[in-house]
């Protein structure tokens, strides 16, 4: 008991005299730490008779509570003193105007991606992502493009290994999704893609795509047209029109190029190509283990940069990558619109 009185008196005195946060931290360790004075006292309870042990334990807890209270008061006192000292020394000039907060602006590419997702999620689409570095099978072969297929030449691929590539489209995410899910499947796959293009006003070796996939027992070309119309209206306004032209993609049959026309776009531009689409090729369904006699579907894909340049009247793709705040801040008012 006498030792506890001495510990308490010493601790309270030192707490009152403490001048820095370091002083308080050191005192807390010396008294309340595992190897501190009170810790030693707690361990000595085993040497006390069972009759006196409860009384001594209660006394130790009382001392500990008073010391903790004194240390907390010291911390508060020192914090106030440090603040007052800083003000007195002129570190803070309260007569200066406050610092202006500059809110960030969403990037044009994120705005377009969000608009596509927002337009199509009411139709049951969900968002999926896949790896940027991909095996050849997911990027080409499962999409009906074997090793000697001429369509591979259209992709100008970055190979990082014998059978490993930087993905040339986000279709790899569609393949991976179908391998892990049974129909119905409705998924959007946004993300970064890579092709060996020289950087100029309309090309970049790194750009972004968003692709859509719809697989079930009854999906038709008419459903595809309805989805594309919904997407066009979401991006380019209620008066947007679409036009489909026959085309070729190895992973869809039949395939189409999709053009759009809208008063929201620059006058005089007329029909503008915005994306490719088509009914998923039966061979692709077989690659992922689906029975093309039982299920069918469609897919579509577009470049996000392409849509952003059309919608916002951007004439140089490099503006989207240069992080110029004068350019980026133009889109601040469009967030959430």
> 109 in helix, strand or coil?
helix
pLDDT tens digits for 230-248?
Answer: 999 999 999 999 999 999 9
Q: Is it the case that residue 269 has pLDDT exceeding 80? A: no
Query: According to the model, what pLDDT value does residue 63 have?
Result: 84
Same domain, 15 and 137: no
Query: According to the model, what pLDDT value does residue 277 have?
Result: 97
Examine residue 96 and state whether it is found in any structural domain, yes or no: no
Query: According to the model, what pLDDT value does residue 60 have?
Result: 78
DSSP string, 249-311: ETTEEEEEEEEEE-TTSPTT--SEEEEEEEEEPHHHHHHTT--TTT-EEEEEEEEHHHHHHHH
CA-to-CA distance for 28 and 33, rounded, in angstroms? 7
Q: Is it the case that residue 212 has pLDDT exceeding 90? A: yes
Examine residue 97 and state whether it is found in any structural domain, yes or no: no
Query: According to the model, what pLDDT value does residue 31 have?
Result: 82
Examine residue 98 and state whether it is found in any structural domain, yes or no: no
The total number of structural domains that make up the chain: 2
Same domain, 20 and 163: no
Same domain, 187 and 276: yes
Short-list 306, 198, 202, 211, CA closest to 249: 211
CA-to-CA distance for 269 and 117, rounded, in angstroms? 26
Reported pTM: 0.68
Examine residue 183 and state whether it is found in any structural domain, yes or no: yes
Same domain, 184 and 38: no
Same domain, 200 and 326: yes
Task: Quote the domain boundaries for residue 54.
Answer: 2-88
* Strand 185-194 with 126-127, pairing: parallel
**Which parts of the chain fold into alpha helices (H)?**
2-17, 21-32, 37-43, 53-88, 108-120, 136-139, 171-180, 221-236, 282-287, 304-312, 325-328
Q: Which two tokens stand for residue 15?
A: 């707490």
Query: According to the model, what pLDDT value does residue 134 have?
Result: 95
Name which residue leads in pLDDT, 307 or 28: 307
Query: According to the model, what pLDDT value does residue 32 have?
Result: 81
Mean pLDDT over all residues of the chain? 88
Pick from 193-207, 226-240, 262-276: least confident: 262-276
Same domain, 49 and 196: no
Same domain, 243 and 291: yes
CA-to-CA distance for 153 and 147, rounded, in angstroms? 11
Same domain, 241 and 271: yes
pLDDT band at 123; cut points 50, 70, 90: very high
Query: According to the model, what pLDDT value does residue 140 have?
Result: 93
Per-residue pLDDT, averaged over 245-270, amounts to: 88
Query: According to the model, what pLDDT value does residue 155 have?
Result: 67
CA-to-CA distance for 32 and 322, rounded, in angstroms? 56
Name which residue leads in pLDDT, 34 or 20: 20
Name which residue leads in pLDDT, 59 or 308: 308
Same domain, 140 and 238: yes
pLDDT tens digits for 138-182?
Answer: 999 999 998 887 767 766 889 998 889 999 999 999 999 999 999
Query: According to the model, what pLDDT value does residue 226 have?
Result: 96
Instruction: Kindly report the CATH number assigned to the domain that includes residue 235.
Output: 3.30.930.10
Q: Is it the case that residue 335 has pLDDT exceeding 60? A: no
Examine residue 169 and state whether it is found in any structural domain, yes or no: yes
Query: According to the model, what pLDDT value does residue 336 have?
Result: 52
Q: Are 136 and 251 in contact (CB under 8 A)?
A: no
Question: Last residue of a domain, which of 60, 88, 116?
Answer: 88
90: left (phi over 0), alpha (psi -120 to 50) or beta: left
């Amino acid at each position: 008991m006498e030792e506890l009185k001495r510990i308490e008196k010493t601790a309270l005195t030192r707490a009152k005299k403490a001048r820095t946060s370091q002083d308080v931290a050191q005192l807390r360790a010396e008294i309340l730490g595992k190897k501190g004075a009170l810790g030693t006292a707690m361990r000595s309870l085993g040497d006390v008779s069972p009759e006196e042990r409860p009384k001594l334990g209660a006394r130790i807890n009382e001392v500990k509570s008073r010391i903790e209270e004194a240390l907390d008061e010291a911390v508060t006192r020192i914090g106030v003193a440090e603040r007052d000292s800083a003000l007195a020394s002129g570190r803070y000039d309260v007569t200066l105007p406050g610092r202006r907060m500059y809110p960030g602006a969403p990037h044009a590419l994120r705005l377009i991606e969000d608009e596509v997702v927002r337009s199509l999620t009411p139709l049951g689409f969900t968002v999926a992502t896949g790896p940027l570095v991909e095996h050849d099978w997911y990027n080409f072969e499962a999409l009906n493009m074997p090793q000697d297929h001429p369509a591979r030449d259209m992709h100008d691929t970055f190979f990082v290994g014998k059978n490993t590539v930087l993905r040339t489209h986000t279709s790899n995410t569609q393949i991976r999704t179908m391998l892990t899910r049974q129909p119905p499947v409705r998924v959007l796959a946004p993300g970064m893609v890579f092709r060996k293009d020289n950087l100029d006003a309309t090309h970049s070796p790194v750009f972004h795509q968003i692709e859509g996939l719809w697989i079930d027992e009854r999906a038709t070309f008419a459903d595809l047209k309805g989805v594309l119309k919904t997407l066009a209206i979401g991006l380019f306004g209620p008066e947007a029109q679409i036009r489909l032209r026959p085309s070729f993609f190895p992973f869809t049959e039949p395939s189409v190029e999709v053009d759009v026309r809208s008063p929201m776009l620059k006058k005089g531009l007329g029909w503008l190509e915005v994306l490719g689409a088509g009914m998923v090729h039966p061979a692709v369904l077989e690659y992922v283990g689906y029975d093309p006699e039982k299920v069918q579907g469609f897919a579509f894909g577009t470049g996000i940069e392409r849509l952003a340049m059309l919608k916002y009247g951007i004439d140089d793709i490099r503006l989207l990558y240069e992080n110029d705040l004068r350019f980026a801040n133009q889109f601040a008012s469009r967030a959430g619109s």
